[in-house]
Amino acid sequence: MSPRADPPAPSEPKTFEPPPNRPPLEIIEGGAHWILEAYNTGRRDGETYSVHDTQMDALRAGKRRMDERGHPCLLRWDSDASVRTMYWNPDFEHLDVRYDAMTETWVILPKVGDVPFYATDDQELAARYGREVQQTYDFKHLDLYDPDGTKRRTIDHRFVRNEIDSSGVRFDREKIVEDETGPLADEADSDGVTSGTTPASALAAAVPDLTDVEVVPTEGPLRRYRAGWDDGGEAAIVALDPELCDDRDVVDAFLDVVENWKTIADNNHVATVHDDGIGPSPWVAFDAGEAPLREQIDEFGLRTRVDIADDIAGAYETATLYDVPLRGAEPDNVQVRAVSRGWSGELADWGLTNQVERSLGETPVGHYSAPEELDGGRTDRTPIYRLGALAYYAITRRDPFESASSLPEAIRSGPPKPPSSVVDVPDRLNEAVSKAMATDPGKRYTQVKDFRDDLAEALAW
């Protein structure tokens, strides 16, 4: 059988005429005067708009300018680390990412207004561009919707995420600066941002091998960073939210996963652990690879993509030899790097996110969750399901059940449509993925090796 062409990639987003981009406003005390100026990432050097004798005069001028000139919000500071009041322009309260059935596209659209920023046929891309628009234009909330119009999640602006006192918005200006300078999150499974962070400066001080620490916006109980490592390479760092450090079960869950990961970190297809520690909160630093799989996958042909899925299955086989629990097989945890044979995949995380969330009493549900996991269960064939789901993504470049209106219901109902419904592939590849992702654990492969053998045979054409 001759290799066949992959389906076309999603079209690039259509861009509409953007509105004027105004910075947030802030009122600060300057000697005997009150200054109305542009908020400039926490540095007191923004453009000055006016100077007033009283704070009330400055506030009136700020609110008037916010409404008339289209600034997103106004901050009134009591001190460098304390905002007394925060006012938001109603036009910048909500930004929606929703499906427009009439045009069959995803649109990034302000709640107040009818002109979108972008329109695209790809949900993942829409979510990512929505996050970029939120950061660029300072929308208070980014609301993400499912195709049926159900609100799936709300992502708050960095000012709101750092609120720590409900009686008044108070936050550490340094923390806000770190959040602003971090790169955008890649949406899909990892769309979103954190509420609160482990200060990057504290992490850098605790780990002298790190340089140029950058915050990677994410959500949930873990904080993520990228930094230079002392050997000249790049490290990814995962740290526990400092606010959870008093919860012994959560800390133990984090440390247990890291200890298991370190046991096999010197093996092929397992991300190398550089170092780990417990201050300022438990953390682990590991080799970041050359690129995340999600960022690189469109550059790969079918055989390379399946080979990378097989690499992760190989990491699972290695873990079995060391009695390390088989967890973490999903695209956001896979890093790729160029090798002599082409490209190689490496698995990081090893269930770290999942296990910490479970220690908090949560039952995380994602596109790579097996049916039994929806009820908090797990069998010795649950890892096979997750490998099958990863292979599905590698083959189709789409998450399983990507367009499902109810993800848990879709997972319970059975395997997704075969990969051949998305891309032209051999029937045996369909059969291998469907067997690995069987709803009934008893109908899945019993060993990772059997699944790998079927993948290899399916591509032997």
Domains by residue range for the chain, with CATH:
14-171 (no CATH), 192-287 (3.30.200.20), 292-458 (1.10.510.10)
Kindly tell me the number of DSSP H helices and DSSP E strands found in the chain: 13, 19
Residue 10 in tokens: 């999603």
Q: Which residue, chain included where needed, has tokens 């930094």?
A: 227
The whole-number pLDDT of residue 164 equals 44
Give the residues across from 46 on adjacent strands: none
The whole-number pLDDT of residue 222 equals 92
Do residues 269 and 345 make contact, with C-beta atoms less than 8 angstroms apart? yes
- DSSP-assigned states of every residue in 195-260: SS---HHHHHHH-TT-EEEEEE---SSEEEEEEE-TTSSEEEEEEE-GGGTT-HHHHHHHHHHHHH
Strand arrangement, sheet containing 151-156:
14-15, 118-120, 105-110, 94-100, 141-145, 151-156
The whole-number pLDDT of residue 450 equals 96
pTM for this entry: 0.58
Give the residues across from 143 on adjacent strands: 96, 154
Do residues 285 and 220 make contact, with C-beta atoms less than 8 angstroms apart? no
How far, in Å, CA of 163 to CA of 172, rounded? 9
User: What is residue 350's DSSP assignment?
Assistant: T
How far, in Å, CA of 163 to CA of 149, rounded? 29
Helix, strand, coil percent content, the chain, rounded in steps of 5? 35, 25, 40
* Tens of pLDDT, residue by residue, the chain (461 residues): 333 344 445 455 566 666 778 899 998 887 788 899 998 765 666 789 999 998 888 989 999 999 999 999 998 887 666 777 788 999 999 999 999 888 889 999 998 877 788 888 888 788 888 888 888 899 999 998 988 888 878 888 878 766 544 334 455 555 555 454 443 333 333 333 333 344 566 677 667 778 888 888 777 899 999 888 876 688 999 999 888 888 889 999 999 999 999 999 999 999 999 988 877 788 999 998 888 899 999 999 999 999 999 999 999 999 999 999 999 999 999 999 988 878 999 999 999 999 999 999 988 899 999 999 998 889 999 999 999 999 999 999 999 998 888 999 999 988 899 999 999 998 999 999 999 999 999 999 999 999 999 999 988 75
Q: Is 286 helix (H, G, I), strand (E, B) or coil?
A: strand
How far, in Å, CA of 19 to CA of 40, rounded? 20
The whole-number pLDDT of residue 376 equals 86
Residue 201 burial (CB count, 10 A) = 14
Beta strand pairing call for 33-38 and 48-52: antiparallel
Do residues 220 and 195 make contact, with C-beta atoms less than 8 angstroms apart? no
The whole-number pLDDT of residue 1 equals 32
Distance of CA 21 to the CA centre of its chain: 26
Q: Which helix (H) or strand (E) holds 26?
A: strand 25-30
Q: Which residue, chain included where needed, has tokens 């096999």?
A: 264
The whole-number pLDDT of residue 177 equals 52
Give the residues across from 335 on adjacent strands: 292, 346
How far, in Å, CA of 222 to CA of 242, rounded? 9
